[in-house]
Chain A
């Protein structure tokens, strides 16, 4: 009865973003919007990598993970091919609280669009009107657009360089929507911490309830290490068992970001090494 988590398909969405579909029937059956998994590229030396679940197919028994190669570990994960097995544990964290709020605005930045997608779907299924704001640095990094367009009532696209949609940060259309009358009933923001922080600052003056999904450092993901702790409303919370979603107005973003950077120097070195290795492997692949 040993469960083998095998990669069934893999697609490169952009230079740094990969989409893998992994056989994990139990996770596919149990998971709900907002939850995540921990994966490892091997059992000996891999880091435990928390990744949000972008989609799941209970019939096929698969979960879809979308990740960006930001460090050594995600690079090694990106080298795995269909047929390879990985370690996968989940679903972890609490599901997003879904109800009929009325009008929901969902803001996704970069890779954050992946975990946002199931939330958009769930909010829609619960009878909400859903506006999505899709943001990325540049058009090439804009992911999940077909999926978002298929489910959202409206999808506002922004890029930092204007290569797709409006040339703006996500907070610009967000502020406009907040000023509407009546204003949105809830905002959900998933993306880089700095984006989530500014989304929180944008909605704060309007008093609109805003949720953010935090991607802190963690090891086990089950409530044992405490590495993921973050201060929310002055109290220490564990992202893995109390989150990953929190009231964005209550999160101590400065502290969260400095904790995320704890291993920055070590990671930078490892990342550069991996980037090289990966480029070499890709060259070899092209040649053969």
Chain B
């Protein structure tokens, strides 16, 4: 419908401009001094004609589809009441399991919204916050799967809300949203990432050079071959969304486990030829490091960026074993 409304003035302009030009020329032939009066009148007439034409198209489409455009959600046609027909849109029940800070329990709240084929879970949550419950708390930023802020559990699976389609994931027109449990919960759908970042920080997630001049005032670039880059490249895609930590059954059952995110970053820096830190593997070669991993593989399955922490941890285990064999020799 929005397309039609955009197109209507175009048709009017296509017809109107030649008429305008014709009248303009005609006015010079017959009324050479009167065109200063005639021109504003012609323009005003065309404007009135254009606006009324667009309104006609709008009313006609509204009659045909039953859609009101007042419930427009970020450029997508969604209604909050009337009949929904466009873009396969329909009503969906959103069950939000919120952590109530007063009762200190996770309580389900149910909202009914209109969603079309483009609506993401994040769109739905923003809509609920704007129109239905202003107290709803969630964390989000970029809305395009880059910042990793909107990690939450949708229908039991840890996902980025901005990358999860409502209609594709709705079962019987119902979708369940809950906070991640791999980190402590602050409020509603918001997790506290202090522990997550502490663990990340504990592995020294930066390139280390023995020469301090190289570390802080390098005068030339550290060149790498394509093969050397390929060794660590996928592990550098981590956006620290915390989905792997939430999916990991070991993190869920044993909070002292350093977790797949931090361990994948150990492998990322350890595999980088520019890094000169020697004891990266030794630091995680402990029970609460790599050896707590039972290779369930859930962390890799939920990673939105294809970091594959499970593979990184198994490779770290292999390297740790090789180190032990080397020492024995």
A and B pair up: no
Residues of A within 8 A of B (CB): none
